[in-house]
A and B are shown apart, each in its own frame.
Chain A
């Protein structure tokens, strides 16, 4: 069948819902929280209209949402959920359960700032706080990447038997309408065949027990196997991303998407919708003679170490934009990126710009100010300070 995309103008949340529908998810358990709500409402609508045959569990909390997803996934079903901020934090315990029981659940997290003070706007601290739960993390730049991300996440998750999060930003994507090219069902089916579970709870002649006590003699190896699965996921991600490109014209084989990198003095590095603005800025800056490039980290877990090193080999500076902060330290992406380079001997000038927390607008103009700052630092050959709270009202 020839690929003819179905174009629709939809929100990021609807892109997530359609992707779940097209992925033929079998169980959805979820609890509402702004700005995630319309994802699940849309899925419920599909069910109500007879467009989808999904076991739908409107649970009483996010903790139970993830627990129900885990139970369902352990039977062998394909399972989806979505949440945001406080909801994700409430799920935290069960996120470990999902990955450690090797269940390829896919979830959309709508990046939203943590309270207090209450904020419903974009911020990456919620998802990055789940960094060590053993979930893969894909950060979408736009609604198209939300849709594509969910489909790819299922492929990758079910190949390596680890859960995956697809992350979109609050309102900037979740509630903003844009053109999304959707894939006809038959072609999605070819790309994403039915799940082949690692184990199921339905073999009554050879019953298994999942998750029982493991002593120090064995626990360690369980962890090693997960570490290896994550490592393998990198290859799978690149392969699936390449295949996606071949089938549907959008190539995701790079875990860090780059542009203008070859002759760049410095690059912007960051994740999510923020990088849409940065892309725009880089085009403009290039025209104005800045030797600037662009490095969008798509997959934060597993972390694209090798790709980052390749970038660092070429540039004199990296401006890391973090829409998040780890108190007592620095921006989380910055922290991770610096850590990767330590043993390579590569020492580009790396400066951390904390931007856009709690939905503070980040514009092309802001990118330009940062570019000027980076230019100055590279000329001088040394940092003024490591972390800059860019928008601070002084």
Chain B
């Protein structure tokens, strides 16, 4: 597709679309927007594997597909393994994989399929060094099965299997730092990204494409349905997650950490700004908010130190 005259040159987001309208995501779905960006970045020579998750549904029922690329729907916990196989199969058949003109093999899985049931397969794929990109879209719960907790669900969040009740709420665990587990594999490239910062996201996706070996991107993708948030606040929520340092943007490249915050000098905003737009945190007391705030700032300090020492 040609870029219209009135679109300025400095736009870095590819104009072409490989994610069609008419998909079945909820209104304001962050995940579907994220997937759209991924396909913009990688173009039509992409093979994508999607396990059981909201995206299975978003991609459309048989015989339809919202995605204009070959798609293999796979079992919930197999994303890492199935993309390992796809990569190996392509190589066996003589195709070039990854890099500028190679086929992009992409695993696209939710936080549940990544941080929980699929962690083993992800670890195997990273450790063996397959030329593929694994993208975890993080909506912080199992949305496809009706909003149950995952290990990526934050402290205090209501979900249907860790509800908030009259006396207390059940989600007492902090969000698992999946990316730290990924980095422990010392893969060439890992990054966090957000749909609120699409240019940063596209840049990271392109980088993941260029670097041989496995890459991992944890992509923050709010879910208005599961977060009990207005459907027009998705981007704002994604932005606030970064601005509060709840979900900081950074890259890990060949042993080096680099923080990519939009305003690096600015102090993080208070976490309440992120929480107050969502119904899932309404059971939290002031003390609970403090517990979460402390965790956020501790983690932020930790990341800054890593960037200082290994920058």
Check if A and B associate.
yes
**Chain A residues proximal to chain B, CB less than 8 Å:** 26-27, 29, 54-55, 57-61, 63-65, 67-77, 79, 93-94, 97, 201-205, 207-215, 218
Contacts of B121 in A (CB 8 A): 60-61, 63-64, 67
Contacts of A68 in B (CB 8 A): 81-82, 84-85, 88
Contacts of A79 in B (CB 8 A): 85, 89
- Shortest Cβ distance from residue B238 to the other chain A in the assembled complex, whole angstroms: 27
- Shortest Cβ distance from residue B156 to the other chain A in the assembled complex, whole angstroms: 33
Whole-angstrom CA separation of A72 from B86 in the bound complex: 5
Whole-angstrom CA separation of A87 from B201 in the bound complex: 40
Known: A68-B85, A71-B82, A202-B103. 18 other contacts (CB 8 A): A26-B92, A27-B88, A55-B89, A57-B85, A57-B128, A61-B121, A61-B124, A63-B77, A64-B120, A70-B82, A71-B74, A75-B92, A201-B70, A204-B70, A207-B69, A209-B72, A211-B73, A212-B73
Q: Which residue of B lies closest to A97 (CB)?
A: B75
**Chain B residues proximal to chain A, CB less than 8 Å:** 44-45, 47, 49, 56-57, 59-65, 67-75, 77-78, 80-93, 95, 103, 120-121, 123-124, 127-128
Contact yes or no, B88 A210, CB < 8 A: no
Contact yes or no, B89 A76, CB < 8 A: yes
- Shortest Cβ distance from residue B121 to the other chain A in the assembled complex, whole angstroms: 5
Q: Which residue of B lies closest to A201 (CB)?
A: B70
Contact yes or no, B92 A54, CB < 8 A: yes
Whole-angstrom CA separation of A161 from B242 in the bound complex: 49
Whole-angstrom CA separation of A207 from B95 in the bound complex: 17
Contact yes or no, A72 B61, CB < 8 A: no
Q: Which residue of B lies closest to A78 (CB)?
A: B92
- Shortest Cβ distance from residue B90 to the other chain A in the assembled complex, whole angstroms: 5
20 A-B pairs with C-beta separation under 8 A = A27-B89, A29-B88, A59-B84, A60-B124, A60-B127, A71-B72, A71-B84, A71-B86, A72-B89, A73-B85, A74-B85, A74-B86, A97-B74, A202-B103, A207-B65, A208-B65, A210-B72, A212-B56, A212-B61, A215-B61
Contact yes or no, A29 B70, CB < 8 A: no
Contact yes or no, A71 B67, CB < 8 A: no
Q: Which residue of B lies closest to A206 (CB)?
A: B70
Contacts of B91 in A (CB 8 A): 55
Q: Which residue of A lies closest to B69 (CB)?
A: A207
Contacts of B127 in A (CB 8 A): 60
Contact yes or no, B124 A202, CB < 8 A: no
Q: Which residue of A lies closest to B18 (CB)?
A: A207
- Residue from B47, B63, B65, B72 having most chain A Cβ neighbours under 10 A: B72
Contact yes or no, B124 A212, CB < 8 A: no
- Shortest Cβ distance from residue B285 to the other chain A in the assembled complex, whole angstroms: 41
Contact yes or no, A208 B89, CB < 8 A: no
Contacts of A27 in B (CB 8 A): 85, 88-89, 92
Contact yes or no, B128 A64, CB < 8 A: no
- Shortest Cβ distance from residue B103 to the other chain A in the assembled complex, whole angstroms: 7
- Of A74, A97, A202, A213, the residue contacting B56 (CB under 8 A) is A213
- Of A60, A73, A215, the residue contacting B120 (CB under 8 A) is A60
Contact yes or no, B72 A201, CB < 8 A: yes
Contacts of A57 in B (CB 8 A): 84-85, 88, 128
Contacts of B120 in A (CB 8 A): 60-61, 64
Contact yes or no, B89 A26, CB < 8 A: yes
Contact yes or no, B72 A211, CB < 8 A: yes
Whole-angstrom CA separation of A52 from B42 in the bound complex: 33
Contacts of B124 in A (CB 8 A): 59-61, 64
Contact yes or no, A207 B85, CB < 8 A: no
Contact yes or no, B82 A75, CB < 8 A: no
- Shortest Cβ distance from residue B123 to the other chain A in the assembled complex, whole angstroms: 7
Contacts of B69 in A (CB 8 A): 204, 207
Known contacts being A27-B85, A209-B67, is A60 close to B92, with CB within 8 Å?
no
Whole-angstrom CA separation of A85 from B65 in the bound complex: 38
Q: Which residue of A lies closest to B68 (CB)?
A: A207
